[in-house]
Amino acid sequence: MGFYVARRTAVGLLMLVALSVLIFVLLRLAPGDPVDAYINPSAPLSLDELAALRERLGLNDPLPLQYFGWAAAAISGDFGYSIQSAGQPVLPLVLSRVGPTVILMASGLAIAIVVGLAAGTLSAVRRNSAMDVGLSVGSFLAISSPPFVTALVGLYVFSVQLRWAPSGGMLTPGVPFSVADLLAHLILPAFLLSLTHGALIMRYMRSSMLEVLNQDYVRTARAKGVREFWVIVKHAARNALLPVVTLIGSSIGMAIGGAIFLESVFNWPGMGLLLVNAVKARDYPVIMCATLIIGAFVIAVNLLTDLVYAAIDPRVKVG
């Protein structure tokens, strides 16, 4: 197990290096001059000042030297200074946005997992019933709806028309912090984030449960007189979870993309909103740092998913 974790960690580090090279090159190949982001349009610089600025930023060096210079500083924790935040160090700025994003993603995925597993189990147990048909239709609608449509419709219906939830932000400005206020702002974006992932989990769980319920050991448990509740929970559900665990792990990575859009729509002060604003402002240091942190998080989640899968299914060997 230790060798497996070490090997996967080494592969993850190589993937992070490849990701950093890719993002660095793409940013340099983007239209426009990187130095433009550092210039105040109301106070244009002379040609000599522009040349001095390019030299100070290292933009006159070959691209490989630029990358290695950035990488050497990044390894020591120096990701530079934010352009859009008045020269604030990038790493503390990005890390300050991790908490809100984790709160939103954890809440949305928790709702998706609980509701998806329960709905998938009920749909399989009551196959071809009205409940099964209703849950199936609802899941297909949730899966087929683009995230931006779901977010905008949810914002319009629940915040603008019904006024059941605040229309944006993480806390009410000028009001002392309270858990109730946080939950009031969190419930709508978390619910919208959970829709697609919950529907996918429900479909996978239903399919897996239908396959497991036809196995001999389930029929044997019923023939021995085991109560139906325990047949479903103890014998069927645990084995049906095996393919769903992998989906849940990949859903965490996919949820990052949904969180980025939801944070923009609901003005949620997380990494997604920071990254979108950084792209608009061409704040390259923030883009690089935020992308690497997101990549490291996804790699760590994939490793954890493999370990959980091995713990659930003793037939899986790691090493």
- Tell me: do 71 and 200 sit in the same domain: no
For residue 129, the enclosing domain spans 98-269
pTM of the model: 0.83
Residue 314 has a pLDDT of 59
Q: Are 245 and 312 in contact (CB under 8 A)?
A: yes
Position 84 scores a pLDDT of: 78
d(CA 34, CA 288): 14
Do 123 and 86 belong together in one domain? Answer: no
pLDDT at site 41: 67
Q: State the pLDDT at residue 281.
A: 82
Say whether both 150 and 74 belong to one domain: no
CATH of the domain at 212: 1.10.3720.10
Q: Which residues of the chain have pLDDT under 70?
A: 1, 33, 41-45, 309-319
Per-residue model confidence (pLDDT) at position 236: 81
Can you give the pLDDT at residue 308?
A: 72
Q: How confident is the model at residue 250, as a pLDDT? A: 74
Q: Are residues 227 and 119 in the same domain?
A: yes
* Tens-place pLDDT, residues 122-180: 998 888 899 989 998 999 888 888 877 888 899 899 988 988 888 888 888 888 888 99
Residues 74 and 146 in one domain: no
